[in-house]
Chain A
Amino acid sequence: MEKRIYTNNFERFIKESADDFKMIPSKRVWHSIYNDLHPSRKWPSVLMCLILFTGMFFIGYENTDPTSSLSSEKKTTQNNTILATLENKNTQEVTSIDSSKDLINNKKNNNPTTLSTSVASSNKVSSPTYSREESNVNSKKASITSFYVVTNNPTKNSEVLNSKPSVTKVNTKQTNASITKIEASSENTTIDEFITNELKNNNGVVTTTKNMFQSVVTKSPQNENKIRQQSKKDNLNLALQEASKQKNAKKKNWMKNASMEFYATPSIGYRTMRPGPQYDANPFLANTTISTIGATNFDAANPMKHNAALNIETGFNIAYATSKRVKLKAGLQLNLTNYGITSNITSHPSPTTLATNNPTTQAVEYSSVASYIANNTNAIDKIHNTTYQLSIPLGGYYKVLDKARFDLFVGGSVQPTYVFGGKPNVISSDRKYYINESYLLRRFNMNTAAEAYINYKVGDLNFLAGPQFRYQLFSTYNKNIAVTEKLYNIGFKVGVSKSF
């Protein structure tokens, strides 16, 4: 009978204890239930994803559109202005043919880019030289007796002729020079190679521009100055036309000021740790059932063996220049935060308690099962406090230094952050164990970053490199946990950016 009474008491004790126990589920559970019950309401998030992807596609498309080709076209114009000079000892006759009008018309009609060459055809000529410089007629009295008109394929930036040229010779009236028209066909030959070959074959002066065909022929040295002046005028006109086009393009397309950056920042990450703002030791001291070693001496870092570890963040920004010196940016970034802990892995689960700073009772504790022994002088096992974060950096840069090849920027950002995973090891109230439960993580956090970097220009690309400091504004753990841990990183950012 006595046994039965005890048994009933024991069962009642178990039942009452179990019934008194309540746990607050994470928000994820309700969101999942909600999505199960109302599948149609998933559409807003699907729509947002579609908008995001469409936006990214649009940006990518814009990046390869006329805006970028305009600047490269200018560059190509300069690069393709090839002056090849040839010293011709015996001839003094120069034939002049100006076909720039035709070329402009061709350009307007989107006809294939025309490359013009003028070649002196004398047989008594020294070896040819040519250079990539602005058009400049050789002062030597070259006798140009024939022309080569090379019709390039429509690719604007390419210096590759997709064809083996076919040649047609036409005699000119003024000089009896032969004009040769070369149409693009099907073998890959660079313009340089082609011109070099032609120079070797024909021993002539070759002048090429992409947008303008200019060949001036004079019969006497006195006309040389006129030729030069005419050449300068034409070049000036050409430059003005290009500048005007660029200006118009800027007005039409605001994205000219925008650029996209891709970057990665390896860093060293560590943490600050202190009691939560509402932590009160008294309830723990009054509780006789738990160890209160850590209640009063909340210098949490002392008994624990923590060390900094390698972190990394990577992402992309879209930067917009609001003025010559100021850029605003927004983007998307993935962060891996991490620091090391030395502990002992327990061979079995051990119940422990977790101090909380509940504002109402000041004494609420979670009871949880520990994973690792924290305060052990002989600890040898390495574990890591890790979080995986997705953040949206919003900030700006200021150009401190503006040089021809590089710029120096300083900047900062705030980063609303979503913590989508991680392995937190929260110290127990008596500082003896680590509790490894992912639900203890704070899901939404905020980071700040300050950085300085050098922007080195190489062609269309800008390479970035510089130091960065990143600090987490709120605790890694949720607000109920009495330990406030804030992460920080010191790293070195490297990246590349390109204007749209």
Chain B
Amino acid sequence: MTEELMIAGCLKNNASAQEALYNRFSPRMLSVCYRFAKNREDAEDMLQEGFVKVYTQMFQYRNEGSLEGWIRRIVVHTCINVLKKNKKFSDSLDIAYANGLHIREDMIPSIMQAKQVVECIRLLPLGYRTVLNLYAIEGFSHKEIGMLLDIEESTSRSQYTRAKAMLEEILIRKKIILKPKEKIIYQAAVAPR
């Protein structure tokens, strides 16, 4: 079923068109929710709420951008709204600066393990994770994030910096990316003498 047919069907509240739309986009949208949520059950609840909004607001879609981008935007906003209802989330945005984490300039990720990376992102504190998701993955600006989360733009920047540093530390510890020194040693070890 083409996107046009799906949209037309959804506007008529046609169940088969709605299911086709859901089947096409739900796996990717669930992974979006999963990065924000505490666990899979919460992610599925967010997905459910997001898709209900998608169907009920389908008439607002103007066919100007990609349908997936539009749906993703709604789902991300739904996730943020769900998180903002949780007091723990607002507390987590005030986490003090984590010292001792620095960005290493010569670090290049060597192993692409999408799922493991996502799980590592989920290990971050909730506030860090949310800002990192919004900025690095969803493409929001710090200004937009500030408005979305009701925080200062500068807070968003600092949260992101700390989040990135912590994520890097986790990825190294889990050996998903290598430390620069280890890489050099490894290359030296395998190089022909």
List residues of chain A with CB under 8 Å of any chain B CB: 2-3, 6-7, 9-11, 13-26, 28-30, 32-34, 36-38, 289, 349, 351, 365-369, 437-439
Q: Return the chain B residue nearest A440 by Cβ.
A: B40
Q: Decide if B164 touches A10 in the complex (CB within 8 Å).
A: yes
Interface centre among A14, A26, A289 (most CB of B within 10 A): A14
Q: Which residues of B contact A16 (CB under 8 A)?
A: 112, 114
Whether B22 lies near A30 (C-beta < 8 A) is yes
Q: Does B123 contact A (CB under 8 A)?
A: yes
Q: How many angstroms from the CA of A107 to the CA of B52 in the assembled complex?
A: 67
- In the complex, A34→B52 CA distance in Å? 9
Of the candidates A14, A33, A366, the one whose C-beta lies within 8 Å of that of B167 is A14
The CA-CA distance from A23 to B34 in the complex, in Å, is 9
Known: A22-B31, A289-B116. A437 touches B136 (CB 8 A): no
Closest to B170 in A: A351
- The 5 A-B pairs at the shortest CB distance, nearest first, are namely A367-B115, A17-B117, A20-B114, A22-B27, A17-B114
Beta-carbon contact of A3 and B47 below 8 Å: no
Chain A residues with CB under 8 A of B55: 33, 37
In contact, A17 and B112 (Cβ under 8 angstroms): yes
Residues of B within 8 A of A438 (CB): 41
Q: Is there an interface contact between A33 and B136, defined as CB atoms closer than 8 Å?
A: no
Q: Give the interface of B toward A (CB within 8 A).
A: 13, 15, 18-19, 22, 26-28, 30-31, 34-35, 39-41, 43-44, 47-48, 51-52, 55, 103-109, 111-123, 132-133, 136-137, 164, 167-168, 174-177
Please determine whether B44 and A351 come into contact, CB atoms closer than 8 angstroms: no
Distance A19 CA – B29 CA, assembled complex (angstroms): 10
Instruction: State which of B18, B112, B119 has its C-beta within 8 Å of the C-beta of A351.
Output: B119
By the criterion CB–CB under 8 Å, are A14 and B30 in contact? Answer: no
Besides A11-B164, A23-B40, 4 other A-B contacts (C-beta < 8 A): A29-B44, A369-B122, A369-B123, A439-B44
Q: Report how far A437 CA is from B116 CA in the complex, Å.
A: 17
B residues near A14, Cβ cutoff 8 Å: 117, 121, 132, 136-137, 167
Known A-B contacts A6-B107, A351-B123; A29 and B26 likewise in contact (beta carbons under 8 Å): yes
Contact of B35 among A18, A38, A349, A367 (CB under 8 A): A18
B121 near A18: Cβ-Cβ < 8 Å: yes
Residues of B within 8 A of A13 (CB): 109, 112, 117, 177
Q: Contacting A9 at CB < 8 Å: which of B108, B113, B115, B164? A: B108
Instruction: Say whether A351 contacts B47, CB under 8 Å.
Output: no
Residues of the B chain whose Cβ atoms lie less than 8 Å from the Cβ of A20: 112, 114
Could you tell me if A369 and B26 are in contact, using CB atoms closer than 8 angstroms? no
Q: How far is the CB of A258 from chain B (nearest CB, A)?
A: 41
B24 CB, min distance to chain A CBs, angstroms: 12
Q: What is the distance, in angstroms, from B95's C-beta to the closest C-beta of chain A?
A: 17
Nearest A residue to B164 by beta-carbon distance? Answer: A10
Residues of B within 8 A of A11 (CB): 136, 164
Residues of B within 8 A of A34 (CB): 15, 18-19
With contact pairs A22-B31, A24-B30, A37-B52 given, residues A369 and B119 touching in the complex (Cβ less than 8 Å): yes
**Given the complex of chains A and B, what is the CA–CA distance between A439 and B47 in angstroms?**
15
Interface SS of B by simple majority: helix
Nearest chain B residue, comparing its CB with the CB of A369: B119
> How far in angstroms is the closest Cβ of chain A from B69?
12
CA distance A337 to B116 in the complex (A): 33
B116 vs chain A, min Cβ distance (A): 5
In the complex, what's the smallest C-beta–C-beta distance from B134 to chain A, in angstroms?
A: 12
CA gap between A33 and B47 in the complex, in Å: 9
- Measured between beta carbons, the chain B residues less than 8 angstroms from A25 are 26-27, 30, 44, 47
Known contacts being A10-B109, A437-B40, is A18 close to B168, with CB within 8 Å? Answer: no
- Asked, given contacts A10-B107, A17-B113, A37-B13, whether A29 binds B47 with beta carbons under 8 Å apart, the answer is yes
Residues in B whose Cβ lies below 8 Å from that of A37: 13, 15, 18, 52, 55
Closest beta carbon of chain A to B74's beta carbon, Å: 13
Contacting residues, chain A, for B103 (C-beta < 8 A): 3, 6-7, 10
> What are some 25 contacts across the A-B interface (CB < 8 A)?
A6-B105, A10-B103, A11-B136, A13-B112, A14-B121, A14-B136, A15-B136, A16-B114, A17-B112, A17-B117, A18-B121, A18-B137, A21-B114, A21-B115, A24-B27, A29-B51, A30-B19, A37-B55, A38-B13, A38-B15, A289-B176, A351-B119, A365-B115, A437-B40, A439-B40
CB-based nearest B residue for A288: B111
Which A residues are CB-close (under 8 A) to B30?
A: 22-25
Closest to A23 in B: B30
B82 to chain A: closest CB distance in Å? Answer: 15
Chain A CB count within 10 A is highest, among B26, B55, B120, for: B26
Whether B119 and A33, one on each chain, are in contact in the complex, defined by CB atoms closer than 8 angstroms, is no
Bound form: Cα–Cα A199–B190 in Å:
116
A44 to chain B, nearest CB (A): 14
Question: What's the nearest-Cβ distance from chain B to residue A334, in Å?
Answer: 23
Smallest beta-carbon distance A25→chain B, Å: 5
Whether the Cβ atoms of B116 and A23 lie closer than 8 Å is: no
Known A18-B35, A25-B26, A437-B40; contact A368-B119, beta-carbon cutoff 8 A:
yes
**C-alpha spacing A25/B116, complex, angstroms:** 19
Residues of A close to B117: CB separation below 8 A = 13-14, 17-18, 21
CB-CB under 8 A for A367 and B48, given A7-B103, A14-B137, A351-B123: no
Closest residue to B35 on the A side, CB-wise? A18
- Chain A contacts of B52 at CB under 8 A? 33, 36-37
Contact (Cβ within 8 A) A6 B106: yes
CB-based contact A33/B48 at 8 Å: yes
Distance from B151 Cβ to chain A, minimum over Cβ atoms (Å):
20
Which residue in chain A gives the minimum CB-CB distance to B116? A367
List chain A residues, Cβ under 8 A from B13. 37-38
Contacts of B133 in A (CB 8 A): 18
Q: Is the CB of A351 within 8 A of B174?
A: yes
Write out the residue numbers on chain A whose beta carbons fall within 8 Å of the beta carbon of B115: 21, 365-367
